[in-house]
Amino acid sequence: MLLEVPILIGLMVAAIALAIAAKRASVPYNVALVLGGLLISVAHLLPGVPPLNPQVVFLICLPLLLFEGGIMADLNGIRANAVPIGLLSTLGMVLAIGATGASLHWMLHLAWGPALLLGSILAVTDTVSILYAFRRAPVPGRLSGIIQGESLFNDGTALVAYTAIASVVAGGAAPSLSLLSGHVLLASVGGAVVGLALGLLGGFIIRRAEDPLAEIMVTTAVALASYVMAEEVHLSGAISAVVAGLAVGVTLRREVAPQSQVAIHSFWEYATFGVNTFLFLSVGLDTRPEALQGHLPGVGIAVVAVVLGRAVAIYLPFLLLRLFKPAESIPVRWQHVFLVGNIKGALSIGLALGLPDTTPAREQIVSIAFGVTLVSMVGQGLMLTGALKWLGLFQQDAVALEMAEQRGKLIASRAAHVELDALHSQGLLPRAAYEHLRSEYQVNIARAERELRRISEQHLAEGAKDLLSTRRRLIDAERTALQGARRNGLIPEGTAEEMLAQLDARMLDLEKVLHGGHASLEGKEHKAS
């Protein structure tokens, strides 16, 4: 069902208000949207909002999010951490579903079929929340890369297992471990092949399009087609979309004009922001507290089962990694982050709502999935930053903080100096008082400038990063001026396009320099760990 225009506008206004409130309250954006959606639902502020349609989640939202994750992913980082990422996405996911399902079977007295089915639903991580959190969290680069890589690929394994288990349970048969394992392996490998083929085809077309708008259209078509085509032949659409994104991302970085790269990345950043907003709000809007009341004990037990299942899926594979491949081992305190960061999201709700009506214990499965998702998104979303700090993984750069402090003093002193001159020029301040205050602020300005210069000279890397950040802002200013001149007819269209392309090339060069420095630090962290 399509949203009516007034309801759609109301949701957009709500999302904007919640984004501003989240910023002011220092609350994660996704958590604010979920709580805001729940408040809107309980207070009936937007009557007429249709329930979340699983088909919209699977055929539109999920392909776009996974493709964007692939296209923006650091392929070198994934390749360098392929062993832990692959281990968590395969063995880890199987262990998570099995351990969670077994816990639910014994603690909730669910039959094995529905228990494993609910286990597969709750084993799915919320890729959106994880990418959002760890792209911004100053944690060790290798840790962030493994978590993001696992979140991209484990959904594919979980979705294949869910589909296989759901079809068996809905038919009334008992799930066969060997049959399910073979189906998961075939669907995963086949999905990767489909995604790679479409990604290479999309890259071939993009190289010859030479038009940013057409190239954006190609990436959108590849994102949707890779998922749908794989699903049509009963393969993993999720893995297909991720691999297609990775393949297209390689083409963009190596063979596409800078102007097109900037346009494509800007489009996907906005597209995924819109999809994320819709999904987070939908989790809150679709959660009915009255429907959960009769299942609160089950939700609490399921939360414990999910934690136990995730613990087995993390600590056991990493123990095997330490025993058989020590060079790829992960520090123990890093492993705790995988447990805390195991956030559930709209995908779990979409899977629950998409169950056939003939599924045994369907109402109980749906209610528990909603409850666990709500607890996970709000609880873990709020505690993630604190947990990272408690584990000593939230890296605060002392030099950067010192530079920020001195920069703040410089900005404040200069603003006060300007205001002081204005007061004096208006005759509101005696000459003697003006001279005294002016000399005081000049001393503050000189001291802050001297400290900034000292920090830059003593810490060359931080000074270089600060300079690159300034250059980026200046390039943005140049781009804005050129676009204004083109609109006003001050420079010809061709000249503007050429100069804007040069600015985009300079911007990408800056990004590569910044990324190269970051990668160097990650390498040092990896060796140290």
CB 378 within 8 A of CB 35: yes
Instruction: In whole angstroms, give the CA distance from residue 523 to residue 516.
Output: 11
Please state, as a whole number, how many other Cβ atoms lie within 10 Å of the Cβ of residue 439: 10
Q: In this structure, what DSSP letter does residue 392 have?
A: T
Query: Quick one: tokens of 221?
Result: 């078509």
Helix axes 258-286, 362-375, angle to 10 degrees: 120
More confident residue, 465 or 312: 312
Q: Give the mean pLDDT of 299-319.
A: 93
Considering the chain, what is the average pLDDT of its residues? 82
- Gap between the Cα atoms of 379 and 18, Å rounded: 18
User: Are 129 and 376 in contact, with CB atoms under 8 Å apart?
Assistant: no
For residues 34 and 280, the answer to whether their CB atoms sit within 8 Å is yes
What does the pLDDT read at residue 138? 67
Structure tokens at 217: 């259209």
Reference 406, options 358, 458, 357; nearest CA is 458
Instruction: Enter the tokens of residue 308.
Output: 């136990």
Sign of dihedral through CA atoms 325, 139, 387, 14? negative
Helices 258-286, 127-134: inter-axial angle, 10-degree rounding: 120
Least Cα distance to 69 among 124, 160, 136, 151 occurs for 151
By mean pLDDT, which of 1-15, 30-44, 74-88, 217-231 is the weakest?
A: 1-15
Q: At what angle do helices 493-528 and 258-286 cross, to 10 degrees?
A: 70
Which of these, 485, 460, 474, lies nearest to 507 by C-alpha position? 474
Predicted pLDDT at 115: 92
- Could you tell me which residues come within 8 angstroms of residue 31 by beta carbon, excluding any fewer than 6 positions away? 22, 377, 378, 381, 382
Of 3, 26, 30, the residue nearest 341 (C-alpha): 30
Which of 82-91, 138-147, 167-176 shows the lowest per-residue confidence on average (mean pLDDT)?
167-176
Tell me the C-alpha distance between 519 and 142, whole Å.
9
Mean per-residue pLDDT, 35-59:
81
Q: What is the rounded CA–CA span in Å between residue 519 and residue 235?
A: 34
Q: State the pLDDT confidence band at 465, using cuts at 50, 70 and 90.
A: low
Q: What is the rounded distance in angstroms from the CA atom of residue 528 to the CA atom of residue 515?
A: 20
Rg (CA), the chain: 26
CB 413 within 8 A of CB 444: yes
**Of the ranges 255-264, 295-304, 348-357, the best mean pLDDT one:** 295-304
What pTM does this model have?
0.72
Closest among 201, 294, 309, 199 to 243, alpha carbons compared: 199
- Count the Cβ atoms, other than its own, within 10 Å of residue 429: 17
Count the Cβ atoms, other than its own, within 10 Å of residue 446: 12
Query: Tens of pLDDT along 406-457?
Result: 888 888 988 898 888 888 888 888 888 888 888 998 999 999 888 888 877 7
